[in-house]
Amino acid sequence: MLRVAVVQFAPAFGDPARNLATMLALLDAARAAHIVIFPELATTGYFFQSRQEVAAVAEPVDGPTLERLRREAQWRQQVLVVGFAEQADRRLYNAAAVLLPGEEHCIVYRKTHLFYKEKLCFDPGDTGFPVVYIPALDVRLGVMICYDWRFPEAARTLALQGAELIACPSNLVTEAWEMVMPVRALENKVYLAVANRTGVEERGGERLIFRGKSAVYAYTGHPLCRANAEETTVLLAEIEPEQTRTKAFDPLDDLFADRRPEYYRL
Ligand code: ACM
């Protein structure tokens, strides 16, 4: 049995120091979890209007904010998944880091499908969809970010690589995802943890409302826990990753063995 926490809060725009302090306080409430998942761009806020704005707060993976969280992962012996703005040479990515206790280097996923004004502010991700095996927890953890949910290929690619739990740091601004995320879990027979943010960002004459409702979905598509639209909270779910290792859902039917890729066009 593995305990997964999703953290829901409203990151402050352009203020990594304040967000780090909030995240550290919320980690105290997530103390019982083996894996803790924070929202997309949790360290910086979301609604950037230009690359210059991103560059002002983006950090490399070994920058001060992630380094502080890496030490926290080590001290707490927890795996942390953190959405952040990554600067790598001249490139800027909407990224998520997987910080592993006992590991100097973290795994980074750079968002594949950029949404709306992200296209003006970030470079498209070039990492593909990573799956990391964590021996101490005997789980295979995959990562995608927010808008990736609209592309069934993202979760399917992670599942085909063996992901048993998909972490999905998010800043969701529509409501359609509530119908679809459980389906991503069910159609791949994986657990799916959505850490969404709350709050409002008004920038460039536009207002984005982030509607929370973070959740952990079982491989059946049923929610194991769910937050409301506005609360700052840490949700905890117990999962059994070994249940996802066979894709059979009855004695004759198997989601992966029954695939007919020769008839698919991707
Ligand atoms: C989103 O990808 N943040 C909607």
Which of 41, 44, 170, when mutated, tests ligand 1's pocket best, judged by the most ligand atoms within 8 Å of its CB? Answer: 170
Q: Which of 121, 146, 164, 213 is catalytic?
A: 146
The verdict on the CB of residue 73 being under 6 Å from ligand 1 is: no
Confidence of residue 211 (pLDDT cuts 50, 70, 90): very high
Give the atom of ligand 1 at the shortest distance from the alpha carbon of 172. 4
Mean pLDDT across 183-212:
98
Give the mean pLDDT of 16-35: 98
Q: What is the pLDDT of residues 108-143, one digit of tens each?
A: 999 999 999 999 999 999 999 999 999 999 999 999
pLDDT digits over 29-69, tens only?
999 999 999 999 999 999 999 999 999 999 999 999 999 99
Q: 104 pLDDT exceeds 90? A: no
Range(s) of the domain holding residue 111:
2-263
Residue for token pair 């970030």: 122
Q: What is the number of structural domains in the chain?
A: 1
- In tens, the pLDDT along 196-210 reads 999 999 999 999 999
Is the CB of residue 147 below 6 angstroms from any atom belonging to ligand 1? Answer: yes
Verify whether residue 225 is a known catalytic residue.
Answer: no
Statement: residue 266 has pLDDT above 90: no
Establish whether 168 is a catalytic residue: no
CA distance 47 to 200: 10
pLDDT of residue 52: 98
In this prediction, residue 223 has a pLDDT band, given cuts at 50, 70 and 90, of very high
CATH code, 239: 3.60.110.10
- Choose among 34, 18, 7, 21: nearest CA to 165: 34
Write down the pLDDT at residue 183.
Answer: 98
**Strand ranges for the chain from DSSP E:** 2-8, 35-37, 79-88, 91-99, 107-110, 131-134, 139-143, 165-169, 191-195, 198-203, 206-211, 215-217, 223-226, 233-239, 248-250, 253-254
247 an active-site residue? no
| pLDDT, average across residues 6-10 | 98
Atom of ligand 1 lying closest to residue 115 CA: 2
Question: Closest Cα partner for 237 from 34, 62, 83?
Answer: 34
- Write down the mean pLDDT value for the chain: 97
Tokens at 59, concatenated: 């950090």
- Residue 236, amino acid: L
Q: Which residues partner with 91 through β-bridges?
A: 88
The helix or strand, by DSSP H or E, that contains position 48, with its residue range, turns out to be none
Residue nearest to atom 2 of ligand 1 (CA): 147
Residue 103: predicted pLDDT? 87
**What average pLDDT does this structure show over 148-164?**
98
Residue bearing the bigger pLDDT, 167 or 105 = 167
- Closest C-alpha among 54, 120, 119 to residue 88: 54
Cα distances (angstroms) measured from residue 235 to each of 4, 185, 198: 8, 18, 14
Percent of the chain with pLDDT strictly greater than 70: 100
pLDDT of residue 212: 98
